[in-house]
Amino acid sequence: MNDELVRAWREGAGAPGTVVLDGFHALKHALRFGGDVRQVLTADRAALLALAAELAADVVPALDGLAAELPEAELRALVPRLHPTGVIALAARPTTGSNLAALARQPRTAPVVLLENPRNLGNVGAVIRLAAGFGATGVVTTGDLDPWHPTVVRGSAGLHFATAVERLALPELPDGPLYVLDPEGADVRTVAFPDDALLAFGTERHGVSDELKARADRLVAVPMQPGVSSFNLATSVAMGLFHWMSGRPPR
């Protein structure tokens, strides 16, 4: 039985479009937000179900039907670093078509976050987690970094499944007014972000490209003390999304 579980994992993990879910919270969010979870492995099935019952009772029925037990030594051999919660899982990545459909849906009731050529996997994961928490329509990246990289999914705690996450190439972007965060822009406190906005953020080192700034409907700046070079990317996105949310009535 163990050999079959390991074989199924290795075959599944190597298949195109497979997402590795590292730890209970990533698995919980994939199940909660409708992810297609294919395999769940844990060293202690009873402990996993007890944890789910305590923290996320809504996912217990699905988890009970999926979770299989494997000795910890064999479990550790399947991943570079086993999460402290002792569970790993495989899920299918949503199709590009379904993500693009969600991003293109009109009227859009929440902004799309655009990360131009991001470099840090952990930062991208943190941004996706923020976008899901604020209810953004999705996160779009450009450049070489895969926003579904296992390290990014770990950083988002699996909240990729709660929003639309896709990599696109310029000039292929969702419709909507483009608000670019740039030090040369108008003070963000004087600008309201519409629900259908694209909120664009560049890298901490280089900022947003001239190409993207040229396409902007508005350049917007977050006030910063003299001598401070930049905010962390995820912090900037959090401020932008909070500014948008602050202009909407409470739900």
Does residue 194 sit in helix, strand or coil? coil
Q: Sort residue 227 into left (φ over 0), alpha (ψ -120 to 50) or beta.
A: left
Integer-rounded Cα Rg, in Å, for the chain is 20
Tally of domains within the chain: 2
Average of pLDDT values for 113-135?
96
Residue-averaged pLDDT of the chain = 94
Helices (runs of H) and strands (runs of E) counted in the chain: 10, 10
- In this prediction, residue 225 carries a pLDDT of 86
* Boundary residue ending a domain (60, 77, 92): 92
The answer on 68 and 126 residing in a single domain is no
Q: CA-CA distance, 49 to 44, in Å (whole number)?
A: 9
The answer on 134 and 84 residing in a single domain is no
The answer on 228 and 144 residing in a single domain is yes
CA-CA distances (angstroms) from residue 36 to 20, 116, 210? 12, 29, 39
Expressed as residue numbers, the domain containing 195 is: 96-246
* Boundary residue ending a domain (64, 92, 120): 92
- In this prediction, residue 231 carries a pLDDT of 84
Q: How far is CA 135 from the centre of its chain?
A: 12
- Tell the residue number behind the tokens 């950083």, with chain if given: 155
pTM score, whole prediction: 0.93
The answer on 204 and 161 residing in a single domain is yes
pLDDT for 22-79, tens place per residue? 999 999 999 999 999 999 999 999 999 999 999 999 999 999 999 999 999 999 999 9
The answer on 38 and 22 residing in a single domain is yes
* Boundary residue ending a domain (51, 66, 92): 92
pLDDT for 198-251, tens place per residue? 999 998 778 899 999 999 999 999 988 887 877 899 999 999 999 999 988 887
Residue 251 within any structural domain of the chain: no
Residue 167 within any structural domain of the chain: yes
